[in-house]
């Protein structure tokens, strides 16, 4: 907390310098690292993240005008102001302030409010941007909690998480809700199994003899700025529909792969066999998808696909379904091993993480050469398991490292990946660090920071 206290004091000074007044309160929302369960939350399956110590902080002062004034401590992010009652979010430009507007608009629409008063906000974040540690979702969550606090209203953490997950889609990302859920539901000292429909979180005690280490590939990937992420969401949606039709279900009502399993009442292992029977490994064209479902191209594009995936020419349905059903199995095995805590717990968890990366690389195809190289380096220098974390195509890896090897691991990975390249490492602490489960979103009143 001393570091956070110092940041709050500094933020207060900067706020005063910027707006000529003192903030009334501060809101904190953490980033997260997903230990295992990649690209499956939007398919309805459980994931296993933990909050990290890095976070978004916002200093806030409600004002009597209807102007929303946003500023950022990072000079790369320009000031922005708009009317609190005319929120426009441009999906074509994932600018930093649009993530704040997502959270603001989500709360506004949830309560059906109009004629809102404005506020002055100064944002400070120490989550590396576009790193797969959920800086954008942390900002959405922070903004949602800011807005709720200004309004003097109350919601449960689960309700807040669900609203913020839904409202982040205003920016065009078809996410599943993991990032927002862990940002609100996280607790210090424990990872969480996050389950959906209904949203709930269960403690998962991580092994004491090992440490999770995050390493940044230094390849930035903003999932709202490209179509990669949404293409995976749509491929999984189409796979779910084809599997449902193959088994005689009402496919047009099905959106997620988990729904197919639930409606059939079979195991994840059986779903892998059904995928083998129902889908072929060769990519599907839009025309073939239409033939399988008995719909027109126009119906496919306007009724099923998202706006930035309507011109995609191939869909790898078999590979995506295989990844999702196998990854969902690995999440449940990971939790079970943590609960049973056998003598070789760290080795078993590491193997699951390695299998996860292989699946992400080969079946989901969301890795990149730098992430693969970094994973190999981490394993070479002592990680029992290492995998990409977050959406992929850049960002970070997470590695499970025996505690007695941590010092040498950090030194060796730093030399092998960062020093032997011309990678722009602005801060070693932001690029390679051990982490432990942190707490969730909080509100600090000004009196508490004095």
Q: Verify whether residue 79 is a known catalytic residue.
A: no
Which residues, at least 6 apart from 421, have a Cβ–Cβ distance to it below 8 Å?
none
Residue 366, helix vs strand vs coil? coil
Q: Is 407 exposed, middle or buried (0-12, 13-18, 19+ CB in 10 A)?
A: exposed
Characterise 59 by phi-psi region: left (phi > 0), alpha (psi -120 to 50), beta (else): beta
Q: Are strands 119-125 and 67-72 parallel, antiparallel or unpaired?
A: parallel
Residue owning tokens 């280490």: 213
**Closest listed residue to residue 136, CA positions, set 168, 166, 104:** 168
What are phi and psi for residue 331, nearest 5 degrees?
A: -60, -45
| Length of the chain measured in residues | 450
Q: Are 185 and 207 in contact, with CB atoms under 8 Å apart? A: no
Q: Are 211 and 385 in contact, with CB atoms under 8 Å apart? A: no
What is the rounded CA–CA span in Å between residue 37 and residue 371?
Answer: 17
Catalytic residue among 41, 55, 124, 179: 179
Q: List, by residue number, the catalytic residues.
A: 179
């Amino acid at each position: 907390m001393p570091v956070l206290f110092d940041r709050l004091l500094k933020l207060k000074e900067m706020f005063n310098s910027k707006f000529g007044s003192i903030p009334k309160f501060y809101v904190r929302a953490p980033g997260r690292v997903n230990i295992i369960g990649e690209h499956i939350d939007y398919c309805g399956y459980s994931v296993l993240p933990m909050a990290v110590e890095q976070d978004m902080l916002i200093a806030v002062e409600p004002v009597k005008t209807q102007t929303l004034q946003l500023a950022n401590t990072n000079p790369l992010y320009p000031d922005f102001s708009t009317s609190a009652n005319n929120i426009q979010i441009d999906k074509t430009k994932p600018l930093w302030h649009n993530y704040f507007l997502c959270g603001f608009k989500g709360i506004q629409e949830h309560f059906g409010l109009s004629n809102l008063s404005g506020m002055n906000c100064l944002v400070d974040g120490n989550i590396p941007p576009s790193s797969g540690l959920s800086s954008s979702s942390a900002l959405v969550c922070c903004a949602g909690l800011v807005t709720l606090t200004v309004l003097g209203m109350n919601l449960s953490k689960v309700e807040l998480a669900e609203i913020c997950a839904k409202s982040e889609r205003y920016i065009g990302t078809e996410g599943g809700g993991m990032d927002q859920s862990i940002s609100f539901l996280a607790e210090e000292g424990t990872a969480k199994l996050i389950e959906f429909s209904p949203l709930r979180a269960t403690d998962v005690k991580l092994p004491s003899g090992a440490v999770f280490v995050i390493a940044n590939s230094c390849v930035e990937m903003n999932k709202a700025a490209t179509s990669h992420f949404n293409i995976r969401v749509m491929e999984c949606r189409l796979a779910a529909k084809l599997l449902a039709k193959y088994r005689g279900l009402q496919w047009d009502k099905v959106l997620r792969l988990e729904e197919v399993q639930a409606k059939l009442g079979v195991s994840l292992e059986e779903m892998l066999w059904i995928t083998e029977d129902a889908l072929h490994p060769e990519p599907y064209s839009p025309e073939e998808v239409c033939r399988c479902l008995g719909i027109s191209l126009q119906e496919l594009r306007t009724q099923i696909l998202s706006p930035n995936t309507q011109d995609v020419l191939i869909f790898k349905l078999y590979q995506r379904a295989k990844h999702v059903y196998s990854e969902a199995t690995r999440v449940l095995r990971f939790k079970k091993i943590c609960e049973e805590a056998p003598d070789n717990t760290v080795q078993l968890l590491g193997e699951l993480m390695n299998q996860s990366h292989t699946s992400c690389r080969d079946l989901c195809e969301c890795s990149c050469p730098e992430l693969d190289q970094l994973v190999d380096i981490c394993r070479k220098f002592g990680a029992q398991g290492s995998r990409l974390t977050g959406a992929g195509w850049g960002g970070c890896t997470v590695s499970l490292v025996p505690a007695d090897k941590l010092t040498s691991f950090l030194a060796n990975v730093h030399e092998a990946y960062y020093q032997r390249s011309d990678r722009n490492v602005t801060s070693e602490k932001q690029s390679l660090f051990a982490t432990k489960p942190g707490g969730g979103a909080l509100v600090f009143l000004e009196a508490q920071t004095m």
